[in-house]
Structure 1
Amino acid sequence: MKEMKRGCFLVTTLLLLLGCVPWHVTADSKDGEDDQDIPGAALPPLKLGNSICALKADGGECKAIYTRYYFNIQTRQCEMFEYGGCHGNKNNFLTLEECQEMCVVSEFPVKKTRGRFGKEKPNFCFMEQDPGICRGYFSRYFYNKESQQCEKFKYGGCLGNQNNFKALEECQIACQDNTNSLQLDQHAEHPIIMNNSSPVAKPSEFPRLLVVQEGTRNSWEETGLSHQVFLMVFCTCTHIYFLRLGDG
């Protein structure tokens, strides 16, 4: 009888101890994920002057042999190819200089055009909006040379041209005339005073929400720790109980 009780005790103790194992496995897996290194890109992101520069070289359907130039996105430079004389695509330039001017983007553009109010603008400010060839849906800003304002458009996520800014302020600083930016500065210096009766959202509400979420996450971790302590105490008490029962 005593042997049966001791056998039941051992089985119960093992089952309870196994309940602690998943917590440690989960913690170890999280630490392993944090230690993983993300490999960096070998080359900086590719910038193109126009989406047509991403097209592959296309000799067309005709049988003539003409020397033309196209932009190779693999080597990131303009290269020579043989053109048949008809069809093909727009990544097809008569001269090397024409290809470079259209497709090779300089980090610091030298050519600038003087705007209406005397501000010099980079040439990319006068490019048309270009969503690129990908199918993403990102909000970006471009300078509209017709309205002379920075406007929002949807960007596909790759390629396009340099008339593409993540923030409205970046577009205004690079391309918009000084008079428009001056109006924005004056508006910032003299903000509109809201009526006290109108509801105004307090800026501190959003950070409080973040603090609550962080505290909730910590409470779950503390619950896991208390669960382990409870199981260990319970196993110890059960062990003592069965030992006394066996001695009696």
Structure 2
Amino acid sequence: MEWLLKAVKKGHALASVALGRIKRAAIAGSVDFQEAEDLFRIALVDANVARLELAELYTLHSEAPQHRLDAASLLQQCYEFALEEDDKELAELCKLKSPAAVAELVRALPRMDTTMRKSAVFVTNFFTANGQPHRRRSDQIEAFWVKARAFTDIAQQASAANRTAAPALPFSPERSGPQTPGANSQSKDARGKTSFGAGGEARTETRTQRLLRMWLSKEAQSMLRPMIEPARRDRSLRQRSAG
């Protein structure tokens, strides 16, 4: 054990993984869990297998919803990097453990707050319907944005069609009494809100469209950043160390 501790102090990633396995196997309380987690996280940059080991730690020894989310995300990352490194054995292990991790993630959804639940639903896009990890999460992120934009376009087209087909009313649904023609186009009604496009043209959005636009422009970006940036940083560091 002494030589293993020395190797960990010198920064050997596989030594950190080996010691983390020992701590995980001998878990008797929160101290061992925390030590194992710290050791696996230290090894993440240089040893892809640490992702599998950390996912196992979360799956076997934690019921926390955040750990369910992290376990699934780590397994997909591990699978993707294993394919890049031509480590077929590790890739198969990740595939083997992914369905159970995704199932546990889905079961944890009711215990998550709104923000975490959105992150969890997004992470499930990195897996197939039967829980197998996709080869590249960047492709799935791009596909997600394409679907989101398509949904927005369809909603806008449907809204425009409804406005064209609906007869003009001489009064607002929210008010009684006559109004001047065209007043509804610049007032907030029960279904939508008037905003202005880049060219200054008036544009009426339904509540659903407005919420979707706000979510895509702000909350989704902040949600995606912690998922994308660690993978980019890890890949960059590993490429640098390999060179």
TM-score normalised by length of structure 2: 0.25
Higher helix share: 2
Higher strand share: 1
> Which structure would you say has the larger RCO, counting Cα contacts within 8 Å and 6 or more residues apart?
1
Higher CA-based Rg: 1
TM-score normalised by length of structure 1: 0.24
